[in-house]
Amino acid sequence: MGTTENLLDLPLEVSGLMSNLDGEEVAARYHLLNEEARKLGTSLMSPFMTLSFMSLLVIPELKLGDRGLFDVTKFEFVELFAGE
């Protein structure tokens, strides 16, 4: 008896910014992804949009990069969890 895994995704094939899917499909998948994130415990209204904007250079204080969260003002990495 095999198991199937239910994966949610929203591919952004065009420069990692846009999807080839039609607008209604993009909206439906984005809604499902946000619902699943809430089930996992996020309190953010739009967790994926928040993550997307954190990596932009226009965000003046905190940057999220491949090595972690970086405080530009203090020029040091920030611990992601309290007490560590």
Question: pLDDT tens, position by position, for the chain (84 residues)?
Answer: 455 456 789 998 998 889 999 999 999 999 999 999 999 999 999 999 888 877 675 667 888 777 888 888 888 888 888 765
- The C-alpha atoms of residue 53 and residue 24 are separated, in whole angstroms, by 23
Give pLDDT, residue 1: 47
pTM (2 decimals)?
0.60
**In this structure, what DSSP letter does residue 16 have?**
T
Interior/surface letters 63-83, b for 16+ CB within 10 angstroms, e for the rest: bbeeeeeeeeeeeeeeeeeee
Give pLDDT, residue 29: 94
Place of tokens 């940057």: 63
**In this structure, what DSSP letter does residue 7 have?**
-
Task: Check the CA dihedral 21-24-28-30 and report its sign.
Answer: positive
